[in-house]
Amino acid sequence: MTRKILKGLGVAALVLFPAAWMTYQVISKTVVECEVCIEFRGNRKCRRAQGPDRMACQKTATDNACSYISSGMSDSISCGATAPSSVEFFGMAETGY
């Protein structure tokens, strides 16, 4: 009986430890939140994103906004290269890049 309990605890630890570690890694790297608004070919979209720094956050929010207002690869690339009409950072963004 005791061996079954120990074996069960060992299996549970082998499953839960990697899941907890991966969750911690994802959460600990997200420190900046931002909102980017893009105007492209007469359309405007604002999207929020999170990232480990300002540049990654802005890129993610820009790509996300462009996915709503562009169609096709050429449009998507052009939209992504467009300067945002507004960018706002939240959280720990004041620490810089």
pLDDT score recorded for residue 11: 78
Give residue-wise pLDDT tens across range 30-54: 688 999 999 999 999 999 999 888 9
pLDDT score recorded for residue 31: 80
pLDDT score recorded for residue 94: 46
Give average pLDDT by consecutive 10-residue segment, the chain, 97 residues: 81 81 74 94 95 92 96 93 95 52
pLDDT score recorded for residue 91: 74
Domain ranges of the chain: 1-29, 32-95
Angstrom CA distances, 87 to 8, 14, 34, 54, 72, stand at 51, 43, 7, 10, 24
